[in-house]
Chains A and B, each alone.
Chain A
Amino acid sequence: MIRELHEKLMSGEITAVKLAEQYFSNISKTDKDVFAYLTLTKNLAMEQAKKVDEKIARGEEIGILEGIPGAIKDNLCIEGVRTTAASKILDNYIAPYDATVITRLKEAGAVFLGKTNMDEFAMGSSTEKSAYGPTKNPVDLERVPGGSSGGSAAAVAAGEAVWALGTDTGGSIRQPASFCGIVGLKPTYGRVSRYGAIAMGSSLDQIGPLTKTVEDAAIVLSIISGEDKMDSTSAASPTKDYTQFLTGEVAGMKIGVVKDYMEKLSGGAKESLEKVIAKYKELGAEIREIELPNVKYSLPVYYVIMACEVSSNLARFDGVKYGMRAFDHKDTPLDFLPEDRTLIETYLDSRKFGFGTEPKRRIMLGTYALSSGYYDAYYLRAQKVRTLIKQDFEKAFGEVDLILTPTTPTPAFKFGEKTADPVQMYLEDIFTITANIVGVPALSVPAPEVEVDGKKLSIGFQLMAKWFDEENMLRAAYAYEVNRD
């Protein structure tokens, strides 16, 4: 899709300004129902688009993403733009700097339409935990778009953006991509700089693209990846133009399928994944059954490590340096006089009224697990089991090039279906979180749709590759996409 628009810009069939206007017009028509955006950045977009048109008018070459409008998840900082992470505690936060991914996209000439809705601080799988209200799934408005990057996924699926950025700590790019029928890619840990992303679980978080096609994901990834001196965990591994690997060929590739995962599936979701496996066989890939004996501990390992890192990362929101200070916010009941408050009461109240239930729940769990006397039993043990899970993957990748799994156990669920029981919502991540635990790249690609209550719903399948082997993952995803029935 990006390449076609690029060619139209180059040939003069459309201008970048017209293209941006067209997308803002789509947003004004559709976003009343979908609510993908928290903030629109029209002035910025028009300024960016004009620059591209001037370049074209001067007869200069433009880059592949130049002038192409996209959406940015609201936990990524754009200088001068409101950045809330969908939390009341950052309701009035105007980012004073650009995230590294934003700097790179600006250098590439991309156009930013706005900031997208998400679960508060990226904690959730449905956007129902946004402090500003839920986004709806464009495939079926009665259903959730997934989360936490639900706004980004819905914007792309609804034609309100050509591409979008999300963040993924346990599946937050891939699960909404699966629910909205698009492509979502989480890169290898360290492939993309996290500087300027509002941190959730720092050893798990990665930024990645949500797009309509595999090629579009490869284009955006090529631009945002690479070492960054502002993020000491960004990797020196050389980055590439990932589109060069999209040959359409998978013959001879070895793809692993996990038996335990297949047994967890039922009904339409199972049939859908079986069709994908059959297609890969038909295309000449070799399917092998593999075992990952310790992945059954992934969810508890994830919830310990993530919660501990959350409790540490969210300590900075204290009502002192920026964000909401309890008494100056409209959501704070004014039953006390601000001048009577002590410093500690300012902390307690800012965090009480600023955070929603899910961040509080995770901060509490993490604080408990890290508190005196519990560190060895929870955090240290979880990091040891994490090593065992990593060893399972190292062994598996000695035998196969890729691992194929479902992205989600089911298609999108209805609003309210999983909000009552936090553990039910956590189980949503069962197939996606292991890639974050072990740091490998993973992406979700639309699989054959599943019929539920007489409606065809989207569902994705997931490919995981070796550390820093985004190229083989994209190659296999593209081969499926261009050969699907």
Chain B
Amino acid sequence: MVTKEEVQHIAGLARIGMEENEVAKFATELSAVLDWIKELEEVDVEGVEPTAHITGMENHLREDNAGKFENTQAIINLFPEKKNNYGKVKSVL
């Protein structure tokens, strides 16, 4: 059973603001889904390697060369708030 306190903690980690009634709803729903996932506990996974990449691909490397992206203004235009060509955010400290 997931408690309301746990839901609040998880919501904080996930950076999702949540109303009281939502906290209660997510506590019930998360508990139900986690119960259902518990089925995996019955599987014997002793000595089984976890899947890292499903087709077994390894180290797909390329030269570390810088490329130029021309469409910078389009990215700047997407800033939710800006001053001149700088993105504006709340102070971090």
Contact = CB atoms under 8 A, between A and B. Distances in A.
Interface of A: 79-80, 93-94, 96-97, 188-190, 203, 229, 232-233, 235, 294, 297, 299-301, 303-304, 311, 315, 318-325, 328, 341-349, 351-352, 355, 360-361, 363-365, 367-368, 371, 378, 380-388, 390, 422-423, 437-439, 467-468
Nearest to B33: A365
Contact of A321 (B54, B57, B87): B87
Contact of B55 (A324, A328, A439): A439
Contacts of A315: 15
Contacts of A345: 17
A423 B17 contact: no
B66 interface: no
B14 A232 contact: no
Contacts of A388: 43, 45, 48
A367 B14 contact: yes
A385 B42 CA distance: 11
B1 interface: no
B29 interface: yes
B11 to A, nearest CB: 7
Nearest to B12: A348
B90 A94 contact: no
A365 B26 CA distance: 9
B14 A390 contact: no
Interface in B28-81: 29-30, 32-34, 36-37, 39-41, 43, 45, 48-55, 57, 60, 62, 69, 71, 74-75, 77-81
B75 to A, nearest CB: 5
Contacts of A467: 55
A360 B55 contact: no
B54 A351 contact: no
Given A94-B74, A303-B37, 15 more contacts: A79-B74, A94-B78, A97-B71, A297-B40, A299-B36, A303-B33, A304-B40, A342-B90, A348-B17, A364-B16, A365-B30, A381-B41, A388-B48, A423-B32, A439-B54
Contacts of A97: 69, 71
A203 B74 contact: no
Given A96-B75, A188-B55, A189-B55, A328 B16 contact: no
Contact of B16 (A351, A390, A437, A468): A351
A441 to B, nearest CB: 11
A443 B28 CA distance: 36
Interface of B: 2, 6-7, 10-11, 13-18, 26, 29-30, 32-34, 36-37, 39-41, 43, 45, 48-55, 57, 60, 62, 69, 71, 74-75, 77-81, 87, 89-92
Nearest to B90: A343
A93 B10 contact: no
A425 to B, nearest CB: 12
B10 A367 contact: yes
Given A352-B18, A384-B45, A96 B54 contact: no
A149 B15 CA distance: 28
16 contacts: A94-B78, A203-B53, A233-B57, A233-B60, A303-B37, A344-B15, A345-B17, A348-B15, A348-B17, A352-B18, A364-B26, A368-B30, A384-B43, A385-B40, A386-B51, A388-B45
A384 B49 contact: yes
Given A232-B60, A303-B37, A322-B79, A387 B90 contact: no
A396 B42 CA distance: 23
Which of A96, A189, A467 is the most central at the interface, judged by chain B CB atoms within 10 Å of its CB? A96
Contacts of A235: 55, 57
Contacts of B34: 365, 368
A300 B37 contact: yes
Given A351-B16, A382-B40, A325 B51 contact: no
A300 B50 contact: no
Given A235-B57, A348-B15, A364 B7 contact: yes
Nearest to B52: A383
In order of increasing CB-CB distance, the 9 nearest A-B pairs are A352-B17, A439-B54, A383-B50, A325-B80, A348-B17, A96-B74, A322-B78, A343-B90, A384-B45
Nearest to B48: A384
A423 B28 CA distance: 13
Contact of B2 (A360, A368, A383): A368
Nearest to A95: B74
Contact of B89 (A320, A349, A385): A320
B15 A351 contact: yes
Contacts of B40: 297, 300-301, 304, 381-382, 385
Contacts of B49: 384, 387
B71 A341 contact: no
Contact of A349 (B17, B48, B75, B80): B17
B78 A321 contact: yes
Nearest to A328: B80
A380 B30 CA distance: 19
A97 B79 CA distance: 16
Nearest to A294: B43
A371 B80 contact: no
Nearest to A422: B29
A355 B14 CA distance: 12
Contact of A387 (B14, B48, B77, B79): B48
